[in-house]
Structure 1
Amino acid sequence: MRKSLLVSSSLALCAMAFSTIAAATPADLAAQAHVKMAEARSIALKASPGKIVKEELEKESGGSGLRYSFDITAAGVTHEIGVDAKDGKILENSIDNGND
């Protein structure tokens, strides 16, 4: 009985933690960012000039764990630029092959 209660409690805590993580809205993420979207756009365009065709703020490994991702197209090539949302550092600058 004690073991069953321990397992049930552990599962409940995991479920609560997951629901808290999964419930992060774009507004929640933006509130955590020290660098705002407009500044991140400027940083990304300096790293790879062109036209931004996709942008998002997401939790992802690397840097502070909160990053802006931009797909920037120029001369038929799309670059993926990642900008850390806490300090503005470039985390990624690669050619997007469309596999993600």
Structure 2
Amino acid sequence: MNKFMQILPVAAIAAALPFAAQAHPAARITKAQAERIALKAAPGKVLEADYEKENGAWRYSFDIRQGNRVHEIGVDANSGKIVESSYETAGEKD
């Protein structure tokens, strides 16, 4: 039993390592570059910025306040292309 208790944590860590390496792969463009792209498409104040995997691809997502609404801009982390442009009313959350 004691040997099992020593091996169990090591096995759990070893099983998780392949997934940890895939958690946040390096992007070709930086967050600052993506933010400039997003603000060029939707001028305003950035309220929130995320690096996330959506539909199988990594992207930066920005919520940008424009008057009384929030414009969500998604920027592909590898190409820098805008992959989402949608509006929310102020205070609304997905």
TM-score of the two chains, using structure 1 as the length reference = 0.67
1:45 — aligned with what? 39
2:78 — aligned with what? 86
Q: For structure 2, which runs of at least 5 residues remain unmatched after alignment?
A: 1-14
Q: Please list every run of at least 4 consecutive aligned residues from structure 1 whose deviation after the TM superposition is greater than 2 angstroms.
A: 96-99
State the number of aligned residues: 77
**Greater strand share, 1 or 2?**
2
SS at 1:96 equivalent: strand
Shift of 1:99: 4.3
1:36 — aligned with what? 30
Counterpart selection for 2:58 from 66, 69, 92: 66
Aligned alpha-carbon RMSD (Å): 2.3
Q: For structure 1, which runs of at least 5 residues remain unmatched after alignment?
A: 1-15
1:5 — aligned with what? none
TM-score of the two chains, using structure 2 as the length reference = 0.71
**Greater helix share, 1 or 2?**
1
% identical equivalent positions: 47
